[in-house]
Structure 1
Amino acid sequence: MLVYHPAFDIYHGVFRALLLLENVPNKSMPFDALRIVDLYFLFPYLLADFEFPRGAGRRGRRLAGPKSRFNTLPSPKTFVSQMQGLHMLIAAALAGRGLIQGEALKRGNVERTDAVVSEELLGQSTSEDIELAAYLGSNLATIPLLGKDGLKARSRLMEFRYDPA
């Protein structure tokens, strides 16, 4: 039985990364933040378990929607870890096309360049995709990654106890 899921499609991953980066205020985020935010884009129901900063949770929980028995993860933390290689391929593909800065990627940041992205490509997104990407880019991707109140700690998807800060 062959099953398709966009999480494992590198081309869909490039699309997701571009859509998320277009919705981050400075069009830049740490690589690990992109990995976390991408998981919430793929599986928005996980937002229901996110520890939101004060005032940001109402809309996030509304966007979470109901959990589907056809689209659930047994262990989101394990899934994020397993997806690291695919996320590295996505970032390398974006850097290779000049859509993100290669030097910034070597430092662990994903920074959008001024290269133009086809309107036709981003126009493939649905209104739900745009609303979710806008929320994730402006609310979750802007949370600092490290520390006890950082994105890694709030999501509980990556180890944070030994982070500096």
Structure 2
Amino acid sequence: MLIYHPAYDAYHCAFRMFVIAEHVRDAELDKARLLDFYLLFPGMVSKIRLPDTLKALRAQAKAAANIYRDPVSGISTFREMRHIQEAALKSVAASGLIDMERFGSGFVTRTQMPVPPALKNRLDEFVSANGPVVEGVLNGLSGIPLLGHDGLKHRSELMEYRYDFA
């Protein structure tokens, strides 16, 4: 039996990565991967050790219903998604919507290439349809530094942080 899940859909992932590129300036690749995970599983935001400024996001995340259910193991699901996320980012970069030079340096940076109106409408629909948790991920979590103690890697516990240069 085949079961669909957007976590393993490269096209869905490319769309989410473009949402991140549109809303977050110059994000590290690992930060983009973490934000993508939380866009896909907004209920998992409640498991992050959030700073005091984002405590309201925890309540919103607990109330968020995921039609595909949250993963049994966030760490293993996040690791399984890595290759799909990397392929999706390469695809978006190849289209010219992400700066290829910055991408080669480990950053997701949106280019000045205009977005077709139909795609822009879909991006806006996605953000508004998925409520305040998605806005919290794009505007709140994205503001947390990625590296070091109390960085997003450490707070999410999805990636190793102890050897980061912060």
Question: Is TM > 0.5 for Structure 1 vs Structure 2?
Answer: yes
Match of 1:91 among 70, 89, 93: 89
Q: Give the counterpart letter for 1:75 in structure 2.
A: S
| 2:9 paired residue number | 9
Match of 1:102 among 100, 103, 124: 100
| 1:159 paired residue number | 160
Identity of aligned residues (%): 33
Does the Cα contact within 8 Å between 2:44 and 2:61 map onto a contact in 1? no
Alpha-carbon deviations, 1:73-110, whole Å to 9, x = none? 12111111121111110111011100101111111111
Match of 2:40 among 36, 39, 42: 42
| 2:18 paired residue number | 18
Structure 1: unaligned runs, 5 residues or longer: none
Aligned residues: 163
Between 1:124-133 and 1:10-19, the stretch displaced more is 124-133
Alpha-carbon deviations, 1:2-36, whole Å to 9, x = none? 21111111111111111122222xx2200000111
Q: Which structure's relative contact order is higher, taking Cα pairs within 8 Å and 6+ residues apart?
A: 1
The 1:70–1:85 alpha-carbon spacing in structure 2 relative to 1, beyond 3 Å, is: closer
Alpha-carbon deviations, 1:31-63, whole Å to 9, x = none? 000111111111111011111111212134314
The 1:69–1:5 alpha-carbon spacing in structure 2 relative to 1, beyond 3 Å, is: closer
Q: Report the TM-score, using the length of structure 2 for normalisation.
A: 0.88
Cα root mean square deviation, aligned: 1.9
Q: Report the TM-score, using the length of structure 1 for normalisation.
A: 0.89
The 1:145–1:76 alpha-carbon spacing in structure 2 relative to 1, beyond 3 Å, is: same
Between 1:54-63 and 1:110-119, the stretch displaced more is 54-63
Which whole-Å CA distance do the structure 2 matches of 1:32 and 1:4 have between them? Answer: 25
Deviation of 1:121 (Å): 1.9
Which whole-Å CA distance do the structure 2 matches of 1:23 and 1:57 have between them? Answer: 21
Which whole-Å CA distance do the structure 1 matches of 2:64 and 2:110 have between them? Answer: 32
What secondary structure, in the 3-state scheme, does the structure 1 residue paired with 2:49 have?
coil
Higher helix share goes to which structure? 2
Between 1:132-141 and 1:78-87, the stretch displaced more is 132-141
Q: 1:53-68 residue pairs with structure 2 within 5 A?
A: 53-65=51-63
Structure 2: unaligned runs, 5 residues or longer: none
What secondary structure, in the 3-state scheme, does the structure 2 residue paired with 1:141 have?
helix
Q: Give the counterpart letter for 2:112 in structure 1.
A: D
